Amino acid sequence: MNLIDQNLRSIKQRIEAAEAAAGRQKNSVKLLAVSKKQPIEAILLAYDAGQRSFGESYLQESLEKIMALADHAIEWHFIGPIQSNKTHGIAAHFSWVHSVSHLKQAIRLSDQRPPELGNLNLCLQLNISGETSKSGASADELPGLASEIAALPRLSVRGLMTIPRYSDAPNQQRQQCADTQRLYQSLQTQHPQLDTLSMGMSGDMEIAIEQGATIVRIGTALFGSRN
């Protein structure tokens, strides 16, 4: 067994334990393997261990991997910043995008999504910490943004993504995750099709699962540190 295989097993155990601790169903949380800045060999090791969903943040780098692994049954998720010149590549090569925070980005993704690929699954990124350095829509902007984007063709709005501000104090992490869950649930009353809360990374996945995450995005705990 290689290290990535071992890490994958222990992450799955952590997820399962967190699901149980929160009284949630087994397998209600999906693991997204964040492979940004990791070589193709690392992705293949995770793939051989059974992992099928991978997250990437940098378009150029990800397109090389997607081309090289075209004959593998991988579901690719784009989780990085979206500049306008990136939307075409995202729309043409990814199944999911987690980092949409402006209507303009969504309009471009909708226009550029090849219809034969089916809808692009989309999460709105919420800036829950309010830090100006972070991307993401504010809580106030979310309802309007969700309604405008839900009306666009070739996109399926699935939920929210957030990156809480790191804190040594678990309760501050927990509070941000709880606030995100509350906003998610209030959006669900307008948009009952929402089923995805993308929240939790290597350092805070237990808290995120406790607060309702349905996708955790795990990089370093699986692959080790990035180059």
Ligand X SMILES: *Cc1c(COP(=O)(O)O)cnc(C)c1O
Region near ligand X per CB under 6 A, out of 87-95, 133-141, 177-185, 215-223: 215-223
Any contact of residue 126 with ligand X (CB under 6 A)? no
CB contact set of 144 (below 8 Å; sequence gap of 6+): none
**Could you say which of 8, 31, 33, 34 contacts ligand X (CB under 6 A)?**
34
Any contact of residue 100 with ligand X (CB under 6 A)? no
DSSP secondary structure letter of residue 84: G
Q: CA dist 53 to 75, 188, 197, 215, 216, Å?
A: 5, 25, 16, 11, 11
Q: Which of 103, 91, 112 lies closest to 137 in space, CA to CA?
A: 103
Q: How big is the chain, counted in residues? A: 227
Any contact of residue 172 with ligand X (CB under 6 A)? no
The two tokens of residue 39 are: 């070589």
Please state, in angstroms and rounded to a whole number, the distance separating the CA atoms of residues 42 and 36: 11
CB-CB contact of 36 with 58 (8 Å): yes
**Could you say which of 149, 201, 207, 213 contacts ligand X (CB under 6 A)?**
201
Rank residues 34 and 160 by Cβ distance to ligand X and give the closer one. 34
Q: Token pair 């809580």 is at which residue?
A: 139
Type of residue found at 3: L
CB-CB contact of 87 with 109 (8 Å): yes
The two tokens of residue 148 are: 């405008």
Angle between helices 40-48 and 59-68 (to 10 degrees): 50
Region near ligand X per CB under 6 A, out of 70-78, 83-91, 132-140, 216-224: 216-224
Rank residues 66 and 219 by Cβ distance to ligand X and give the closer one. 219
Region near ligand X per CB under 6 A, out of 5-13, 88-96, 148-156, 200-208: 200-208
Rank residues 79 and 82 by Cβ distance to ligand X and give the closer one. 79
**Could you say which of 46, 66, 79, 149 contacts ligand X (CB under 6 A)?**
79
Any contact of residue 14 with ligand X (CB under 6 A)? no
Any contact of residue 11 with ligand X (CB under 6 A)? no
Region near ligand X per CB under 6 A, out of 11-19, 88-96, 152-160, 219-227: 219-227
Please state, in angstroms and rounded to a whole number, the distance separating the CA atoms of residues 108 and 213: 28
Region near ligand X per CB under 6 A, out of 59-67, 108-116, 168-176, 212-220: 212-220
**Could you say which of 128, 163, 187, 199 contacts ligand X (CB under 6 A)?**
163
Rank residues 89 and 154 by Cβ distance to ligand X and give the closer one. 89
For ligand X, the binding residues (CB under 6 A) are 34, 36, 57, 79, 163, 201-203, 217-221
